[in-house]
Amino acid sequence: MTASLKINDLHVSVEGLPILRGVSLEIRQGEIHALMGPNGSGKSTLAYTLVGHPKYEITQGSIEIDGTPLNELDACQRARLGLFLAFQYPVVIPGVKVADFLRHAITNIRNPNRKEGEGLIPMREFRKELKAMMDELGMDGEFARRYLNEGFSGGEKKRMEILQLAMLKPRFAVLDETDSGLDSDAVRVVSEGLRKLAGPEMGVLIITHHERLLEYNVPQFTHVMLAGKIVETGDASLARELHNEGYSKVRLRHPEEAAEEAARAQGRAAEPAGV
């Protein structure tokens, strides 16, 4: 049975400010969805809300995996249900080695009922698996001994996210601008990595401004977000159109959301400096 990640009429506020205004989306295992939209339209807000960032408050609507509601679950519980976010800005965790972190993470994800302090997966088995995966993604084994994201270049951080995705094998993966800030070689590496990983067992939501990631991972569905709503859904050709022509036609087709977008931009500009 294929499971689905179902987002229903989702409204989200950050510090009291409404950002998402009714987003509905269903992703089944094996599907690739692209989410596009101009800056500030709410794409990253959706990603953070899905993963369970405590700052993002759901004021209405629901998120479910396979019928299990996620609204009240924390990030850890969501991860153990098979949800993964490749962060746009992965944080540095000083002093924590990539290998130690991954061994811990994998143990928890594979034994979702594990209690704190219970044993980790055997070292030998883990090392073998990690090495095989790093070879496949063309990563230097030395990565495993470095501190998590410390001193990593932009490309290395993104590859690190892909490595985690590969090791954790989630049912649903959200990639938040995994291709941004990378040179074309790095985009190719990440894109090929994702293509190897995505399959019938994984539902993928790719948030992107660019087209490159989508060339390697052709979406069945493309969604366009404007001012906190999904205003259009199409196939891969919609992604190409947006890439070539920008969002002006979308705005013309959806004047109400475009007006809201303009009002938000003005609101931001009107805020006193430093707030």
Partner 1 sequence: MATDLSTAAPEEIGIGDYQYGFHDSTENYTFKSRKGLDREMVEQISAMKKEPAWMRDFRLEAYDIFLSKPMPSWGGDLSHLDFQDIHYYMKASDRQEQSWDDVPDDIRKTYDRLGIPEAEKKYLAGVKAQYESEVVYGSLQEDLAKKGVVFTDTDSAIRDYPELVREHFGTVIPSFDNKFAALNSAVWSGGSFIYVPKGVEIEFPLQAYFRINSENMGQFERTLIIVDEGASVHYVEGCTAPTYSSESLHSAVVEIIVKRKARCRYTTIQNWSNNVYNLVTKRAMAYGDSLMEWVDGNLGSKLTMKYPAIYLMEPGARGETLSIAFAGAGQHQDAGAKMVHCAPNTSSRIISKSISKSGGRASYRGLVKVEAHATGCKSNVVCDALILDPESRSDTYPYIEIEQEHVAIEHEASVSKIAEEQLLYLMSRGMTEAEASAMIVTGFIEPLVKELPMEYAVEMNRLIELQMEGSVG
- Judged by CB under 8 A, does residue 52 bind partner 1? yes
Q: How far is CA 237 from the centre of its chain?
A: 22
Q: Which of 138, 157, 154, 48 is nearest to 98 (CA)?
A: 157
How does DSSP classify residue 106? H
Which span sits near partner 1 by CB under 8 A: 4-12, 69-77, 191-199, 247-255?
Answer: 69-77
- Judged by CB under 8 A, does residue 151 bind partner 1? no
- Judged by CB under 8 A, does residue 142 bind partner 1? no
- Judged by CB under 8 A, does residue 119 bind partner 1? no
- Judged by CB under 8 A, does residue 87 bind partner 1? yes
For residues 7 and 70, is the Cβ–Cβ distance under 8 A? no
Smallest distance from partner 1 to CB 81, Å: 10
Smallest distance from partner 1 to CB 136, Å: 20
- Structure tokens belonging to residue 95: 């002093």
Residue 187: which H helix or E strand, with range? helix 184-197
Q: Give the integer Cα–Cα distance in Å for 259 and 240.
A: 25
- Judged by CB under 8 A, does residue 58 bind partner 1? no
- Judged by CB under 8 A, does residue 53 bind partner 1? yes
Q: Which of 221, 241, 215 is nearest to 233 (CA)?
A: 221
Which are the contacts of 187, defined by CB distance < 8 A and separation ≥ 6? Answer: 179, 210, 212, 213
Binding positions for partner 1, 176-205, rule CB under 8 A: none
Smallest distance from partner 1 to CB 261, Å: 27
Smallest distance from partner 1 to CB 191, Å: 22
Task: Pick between residue 78 and residue 223 the one whose CB is nearest to partner 1.
Answer: 78
Binding positions for partner 1, 7-26, rule CB under 8 A: none
For residues 69 and 10, is the Cβ–Cβ distance under 8 A? no
- Judged by CB under 8 A, does residue 80 bind partner 1? yes
142: exposed, middle or buried (Cβ count in 10 Å: 0-12, 13-18, 19+): exposed
Please report, as ranges, the residues that interact with partner 1 according to CB under 8 A: 51-55, 72, 74-76, 78-80, 84-85, 87, 90-91, 93-96, 101, 104-105, 108-109, 112, 116-117, 147-148, 164, 168
